[in-house]
Structure 1
Amino acid sequence: MTAAASPAPAPRLWAFGPSFRRLLAVRLTSQLGDGVFEVALASLFFFSPERATTPGGIAAAFAVLTLPFTVIGPWAGVPLDRWSRRNTLMLGNLARAALAVVVAVLLALPAPDPLLYAVVLTFLSINRFLLAALSAGLPHVVDPAHLVAANAVTPTLGTAAYLVGGGIAYAARVTGAGHPVLVVIVAVLLAGAAALALRLRPTQLGPDREPFTPGTAAGIVEVGRDLVRGLRHLRSRHTAANALGAMTGHRLLFGVSTLALILLARNYFGAGSSQRGLTVLGWVLGAGAAGFLVAALVTPWWVRRRHDPTTVVSLALTGAGLATATLVPVLALPVLLVAAAVIGWAGQSLKICVDTLVQRDVDDAFRGRVFSVYDVLFNAAFVVAIAVAAVVVPSNGDAPVVFTVLAAAYLALSWAYRRASVRQRT
């Protein structure tokens, strides 16, 4: 075997370079705050979908969480290709810190629920915008050969930071800290994330084009034109466009599966006991998290061996289809947990590879817009699926016909994506 044919060695965290570690520090500190924020607001029903017990309640909770950015997301992507992404991360985290202080005051008063919900949704929507900025800026601080590994490491450590934040908040609650105190801690952490962003140069994350000055009617028209240019660019980059299509299809199917799995855990395996239902749901979420972790470990290795993220996308879709099919003949808790783990693996493997394909094949001048559109498709498809599932999935989640359709749709999507990818190469 020649040196050129040998797979690249697996990079260690310090091998990505100091710029990547600085960007990662911003994300981890921010997600640490998100974990605290989640626990602080766990008592608000609309921000805890897992607490719902009916299809309609779960669908409403997810819709409230995801729809605001879905509406403004494509337009928000334009500034990511015109303004310093480093400055966007700094100012965005400062804005979230300020909103956290407002939330703390509203919780202490207390304020009317609609006002509190509006401020929290603004807080969450800015977070989605910042995640798009992080994804668009990542190729500026990571060697192209290490993009897959970076896309595996970043969300895995981010999730760990989120869980640590939740643990800190839970411990603080046990010791008697009130919700306003927890949200003040969030504000401090987000201000820290903004300060950490200053360790990066203003132009280090891109974009590589002239700055944009908003505020005039002509500027608003130019934003619309920029959005159209971004969509045209995506259409011309078939590898990235096909990958986004596969991800959108997966999120449609995953949304239905998510609602069904929550209902199975809460109302089928946990029938008659809300505590039992929550326990089973915890097992299901844990199994999904285990699959998530396996994907973070295995996907970079596979791509280094095969040098082909498109193959992983196809395999992940096939795996999700087969896992869903197992729920049709035998509906037992061990089968449910294995299916949740495989679907978790498939979803994260898909996310790692699609992120990499978009970062690799979309020009930097359009990357912010494309990632914002990506995020909108990612969330909108999920909400649409949840809404449909609320109608077709029974309240106990036992839906063999639905699982059969989902499995067939996953396999069809895998075949269609693979066929499109092969056609693109020829």
Structure 2
Amino acid sequence: MYNESLEKALERCKQDHLGLAVMFIDVDHFKFVNDTMGHEAGDKLLKKVSERLLKNVRDGDLVARPGGDEFTILLENIEERLVRNIAQRIIHAFAAPFTINNKEIYTSISIGVSLFPIDGDDKETLNSKADIAMYFAKKSGKNKYQLFNEHGDVLARKLQLEQDFRSAIELNEFYLEYQPCVELKTGTMYCVEALVRWRNPKLGIIPPNEFIPIMEETGWIVNLGTWVLNEACRQNIEWQKLGINVKVAVNVSSMQFEAENFVAGVKQALLEHKMQADFLEIEITESVMQNVEKSTRIIQELKELGVKISIDDFGTGYSSLSLLSSLSIDHVKIDKSFIDGIINNSNIASVVKKMIEMGESLNFDLIAEGIEVEEQADFLIENGCRYGQGYYFSRPVSPDEIKKLFMQMW
């Protein structure tokens, strides 16, 4: 009935040049009510939700329940401003509790909205876009509404990436590039940093700064991190067979680092690929320092395996050099944002000098990230920074290119 009504409403609105809106509504935390109070209580809640929705739309608007805890509302002959008002009114209506079996239950809703003609002119498109908008209203904190036309292309692409990622590892869509880290005075390759890339068959190359945050939001970053670790170890052994003995550094997200089986996974990767632990360096961000006790324990376990540890993006997060001095850290990477300013900003140059001095006094080796010009490299060498990486030396390249660079640098 809902779909038939939508088709007829679209015909009328097209003929009369009027606006139309489709709302998809999801009841937040409904599963919790079902699980804790039983399905009978869940059914009562759905009936009360229906009543509350009907009270907050106009006479003649259609409210439907396609299934589960999802509702749809069809708003015919309407402008965007009024759609927003109705959506906000519905959300406010759910601030009051429901009484189910003499108990007060609080729930909220997430609303996704598509508009005719802006978002589409057929029921399939409007339903799909309202559903996508609802999904992101729910993902971004619940108890809110989201219009598809505000961030439509972004929402659709984000959802597509989330769906595609589920099979991307099995389909070999991910691959690694490697950026050399060099000894600044000699220019010889000290280490290579493994950087994950995604070649999506439909969307092409997806930038890491687009897909990594999505992976972190969904928790898939742990699966991806496990694949990166194993692939980097496999590739390192291939290089060693050719006489290229160079460490590989693998970035680890805080979610992966704090997972219960992380250290066991590192140990398993080393055993599986028959790789010596001192050829592996784990790069963690300062954010893991929020839980110092747990991080200290994990770092100690990794050090017992023989793995090297570095802190990435230093200066942008939560830790201090004095805090890091109590941990078994091998390297601290100075964030690119500092390196960018060392030539033209005397204040930043002074800060970097102090970082290098403190690193020396605390027995850290510092690695400067994002070196792009000779003047930056010269400044760092003059002030005692031992290692660096950046486009001045090499962009991230394929494993075959690393072979060529290694031969050149040695």
Work out which structure has the larger RCO, using CA pairs closer than 8 Å and 6 or more positions apart in sequence.
Answer: 1
Which has the larger share of helix?
1
Which structure features the higher share of strand residues?
2
Q: Do they superpose with TM above 0.5?
A: no
Structure number with larger C-alpha Rg: 2
Calculate the TM-score normalised by the size of structure 2.
Answer: 0.22
TM-score (norm 1): 0.21
